[in-house]
Structure 1
Amino acid sequence: MSFWGAVGLGVAVAVTVVVALLLRARDGRVRAGGGHTGGWALAERPPAAPDRVLLLQLSSPVCTPCRQTAAVLDELTGRTPGLVHVELDVADRPDVARELGVMRTPTVVAFDRGGAELLRVSGVPRSTDLLSGLESALSG
């Protein structure tokens, strides 16, 4: 391998490591909502009387973190009144992923009762972070 070939390989490896570290740092972090609306309609489920917040999970069938996310959200919704979890397969509903600008699975987008986006998480969310971010919507 030539000197410049080795330099190019080194640069490619360094860039890959930096990108991987950035993605890992963002994994599971709660971010402010992107301003999308119509969450309940996208889930094809109108809110029932006690429903306050929809957690719309976009998943894919071969995604191991998607199964972990579903377990976290099922447990969380089971113990939190007013919280609803709906999981959509992006292979079956690519229109929803496109509309919400979702680029990876799992992604969870939270919507208030009126359908406005509250927050989103890419990767496996932490229950405490989600509840903290949704506190005002769940209590209001």
Structure 2
Amino acid sequence: MQTGGLIVLVVALTLATAAGLVLRARSGRVRTTMPDRDAVAGGWEMAGVEPEGRRALLLQLSAPACTPCRRTAQLLGDLAAADPVLAHVEIDVAERIEVARALGVLRTPTTVVFDSAGDEILRVSGVPRADELAEALPTA
């Protein structure tokens, strides 16, 4: 009886460790959105801003008690400040749950990047890797 319980415990710990390692490896990675499958349109409207000649919108979905959200806001704010054709908008999912639902966001922070037409082109769950995100952003 004790051996069976020990085996269950070891299997549960192994699965939990594997899941944690997979999530950690994916956190902050820039994923290109597949236009025919999971892209969302209307990003500028969701953010409540006009494109006004900008080439990309960095839409950040955050929660009030989310510490990584603050780091993400700083990083995205710095990117937008350094490049005037980028816009950064942070949305509190507690106040605008309909945006999180429309985008299929399950964790915060999540950054969804929209092009000048308002179509989703990139997505990052977790704190973005600054160099990877900057490289993936549209240039023209």
Q: For this structure pair, what is the TM-score category when the shorter chain's length is used for normalisation? A: over 0.9
Does the CA contact (< 8 Å) of 1:82 and 1:138 recur in 2?
no
* Equivalent position to 1:63, from 61, 66, 75: 66
Structure 2 CA distance for aligned equivalents of residues 94 and 5 of structure 1: 42
Matches within 5 A, 1:42-121: 42-48=46-52, 50-121=53-124
Alignment partners' CA distance in 2, 1:103 and 1:5? 33
Q: Secondary structure at the match of 1:35?
A: coil
Partner-residue secondary structure (3-state), 1:138: coil
Structure 1 residue aligned with 2:11: 11
What residue identity is the alignment partner of 1:67? Answer: R
TM-score, with length taken from structure 1: 0.93
1:32 alignment counterpart: 32
How many aligned residue pairs are there? 136
RMSD over aligned Cα, in angstroms?
Answer: 1.1
Identity of counterpart residues, as a percentage?
Answer: 51
Q: Distance in 2 between matches of 1:82 and 1:57?
A: 17
How far apart, in 2, do the equivalents of 1:54 and 1:60 lie? 19
List alignment gaps of at least 5 residues for structure 1: none
Distance 2:30 2:83 in 1: 18
After TM superposition, the runs of 4+ consecutive aligned structure 1 residues lying more than 6 A away are none
Give the TM-score taking structure 2 as reference length: 0.93
Q: What letter is aligned with 2:20?
A: A
